[in-house]
Amino acid sequence: MHVSVARGGAGKRVNVGILGGSIAGCAAAIELARAGCDVTVLESRGEEPKERGAGIGLPPSLVATLVERDLVDADMPHFDVRSFLHVARDENQTRHGRLLWDQPGSISLVNWGSLYRNLRRRVPDGTYRTGCRVTALRDDGHSVRVELEGHEARSFDLVVCADGHGSLGRRTLFPDSPVRYVGYVLWRGAVAETELADVTPLEGALCWPCYRGGHGPFYFVPGPDGSVARGRRVVNWGLHLSVYEIERAELLTGRSPPDYGGPLSAAREAKLKSWVPDVLPELYAEIVTKSPGTSVQLIHEGTVPAYCKGRICLAGDAGALARPHTGTGVLKGITDALTLAESLVEHRDLEAALAQWSREQTTFGNELVQLAGQIGKALSTEIPSGPSDEAQHWFTSIVTVPSELFGGAA
């Protein structure tokens, strides 16, 4: 799809600067280049994003689209899940716990690193620049001046900010629409399958142990070498925990920005691991306690009035930021990139293309924030302890979740 995209009605290739070189930024770089734009990726870190070892849940339809559009290889390793098992610790203390609800669903589980590497290989090295920390964006109505720390400023016809939840683009365009901490964290970890005695419930399912005040996903992802074979897989997990503002500084090791999260301090990790056997079924407690080097992600959310203002756009978590309960963070970032390129191809006028794209993505993104907030509020309060039909009725009476969205592993 190599076409000439107009700018302001005059036929000319659009010069695009993309802030952020992670998944959303790489997807935008690929699609906009294929749409006929000249693209430069500005990654603030001095090196490319590191392998995170984290799992990502994607709708199978999106995986098919990524393969069809040659954004990922057809053989990118993943697991397809068709069931979401909500479980709880029972009085008899059985290893797998008590099933509250077997919720039908469909999700593909991939490694963050596999997805990133697939996208990054499709971005030419000459257009991907590390160590480019942007300090200011100045839109004069015709172009955007990007000021860089330690480098000469650059000017672009269009700037796409894919720079995450702390986005400079968001702060520049909408200083009155900051993201906010919602009062709890996602405690995350991973452990090799070989460290565990029995992981039968995770075969073909994403399991959600529920406990008073929270819940969390447990699921397989391909091993570090991409293997999906038994014995070479990795179990990823996350548990949502309430953390008051005063505790946030005590939670982390200090090596990461305290407003986002990072590795746990040794003392806090030990304390949390001593707690899980009392609230989780034995299998899930074992997974947590055997996971080395756990970390936390502080959960934030925020809406935006628009995805574009002038010649500056927002993409991924730089725009509407939803809590991770819908598992749509990566979905939204990639969708922002795909739809922006499609809009530029569809419209010969850049301003018209951006206006339509902004309206559609703003609605989509802000609706996800609302949905994720409903789910988070429901699942971070007391989980019903009755029979499975009660759990299903309780959940569906609180939240109506589109089948194509729910069930992501985030």
Q: Same structural domain for residues 65 and 41? A: no
The CA distance from 8 to 349, in Å, is 5
Higher pLDDT residue, 265 or 327? 265
**Which CATH number characterizes residue 351's domain?**
3.50.50.60
Q: What is the mean pLDDT of the chain?
A: 86
Q: Same structural domain for residues 307 and 200? A: no
Q: Is 133 exposed, middle or buried (0-12, 13-18, 19+ CB in 10 A)?
A: middle
Distance in angstroms between the alpha carbons of the first and the last residue of the chain: 33
Across residues 391-404, what is the average pLDDT?
61
The CA distance from 208 to 188, in Å, is 14
Q: Same structural domain for residues 278 and 390? A: yes
**Quick one: pLDDT band at residue 401, thresholds 50, 70, 90?**
low
**Quick one: pLDDT band at residue 398, thresholds 50, 70, 90?**
low
- Note the pLDDT of residue 103: 84
The CA distance from 402 to 399, in Å, is 10
Q: Same structural domain for residues 209 and 293? A: yes
Tokens read off for 17: 């600067």
% of the chain with per-residue pLDDT over 90: 59
- Note the pLDDT of residue 241: 87
State yes or no: pLDDT of 8 exceeds 50: no
> Contact 162/24 with Cβ under 8 angstroms?
yes
Q: Cite the beta strand spans of 157-217 per DSSP E.
A: 158-161, 180-192, 205-211, 214-215
Q: Same structural domain for residues 185 and 321? A: no
409 in a domain, yes or no?
no
**Quick one: pLDDT band at residue 248, thresholds 50, 70, 90?**
low
The CA distance from 174 to 370, in Å, is 19
Could you tell me how far CA 276 lies from the centroid of its own chain? 25
Q: Same structural domain for residues 316 and 352? A: yes
Nearest in space to 249 (alpha carbons), one of 240, 259, 235, 239: 259
Q: Same structural domain for residues 296 and 340? A: no
Q: Same structural domain for residues 161 and 251? A: no
Q: Which residues pair with 235 in a beta bridge?
A: 191, 220
Higher pLDDT residue, 297 or 261? 297
CA distances in angstroms from 226 to 194, 204, 222, 236, 314, listed in the order given = 16, 17, 5, 14, 32
**Quick one: pLDDT band at residue 262, thresholds 50, 70, 90?**
confident
157 in a domain, yes or no?
yes
151 in a domain, yes or no?
yes
**Quick one: pLDDT band at residue 300, thresholds 50, 70, 90?**
very high
Q: Same structural domain for residues 278 and 220? A: yes
Q: Is 400 exposed, middle or buried (0-12, 13-18, 19+ CB in 10 A)?
A: exposed
State yes or no: pLDDT of 234 exceeds 90: yes
% of the chain with per-residue pLDDT over 70: 85
State yes or no: pLDDT of 256 exceeds 60: no
- Note the pLDDT of residue 374: 82
Q: Is 222 exposed, middle or buried (0-12, 13-18, 19+ CB in 10 A)?
A: buried
Across residues 243-263, what is the average pLDDT?
67
The CA distance from 64 to 288, in Å, is 32
Q: Same structural domain for residues 267 and 154? A: no
pLDDT tens string 340-396: 999 999 987 899 999 999 999 999 999 999 888 888 877 765 556 555 667 677 666
Helix then strand count (H, E) for the chain reads 10, 21
The CA distance from 44 to 173, in Å, is 19
406 in a domain, yes or no?
no
Task: Please count the structural domains in the chain.
Answer: 2
**Quick one: pLDDT band at residue 403, thresholds 50, 70, 90?**
very low
29 in a domain, yes or no?
yes
The CA distance from 14 to 92, in Å, is 65
Higher pLDDT residue, 151 or 160? 160
281 in a domain, yes or no?
yes
Q: What are the DSSP calls for 275-291, one per residue?
A: HGGGTS-HHHHHHHHT-
Strands 205-211, 180-192: pairing kind: unpaired
CA distances in angstroms from 30 to 60, 127, 405, listed in the order given = 21, 10, 24
> Which SS3 state, helix, strand or coil, does residue 203 take?
coil
Question: Side-chain half-sphere of 73: how many Cα atoms within 13 Å?
Answer: 13
Full residue range of the structural domain in which residue 17 is found: 6-48+130-179+302-372
403 in a domain, yes or no?
no
**Quick one: pLDDT band at residue 406, thresholds 50, 70, 90?**
very low
Across residues 162-184, what is the average pLDDT?
93
Give the lowest-confidence range in 26-30, 248-252, 384-388.
384-388
Q: Same structural domain for residues 310 and 285? A: no
Sign of CA dihedral 192, 194, 199, 203: positive
- Estimate the crossing angle of helix 350-379 against helix 329-346, to 10 degrees: 160
Q: Which residues pair with 87 in a beta bridge?
A: 99, 209
The CA distance from 16 to 157, in Å, is 6
74 in a domain, yes or no?
yes
**Which CATH number characterizes residue 94's domain?**
3.30.9.60
Q: Same structural domain for residues 242 and 222? A: yes
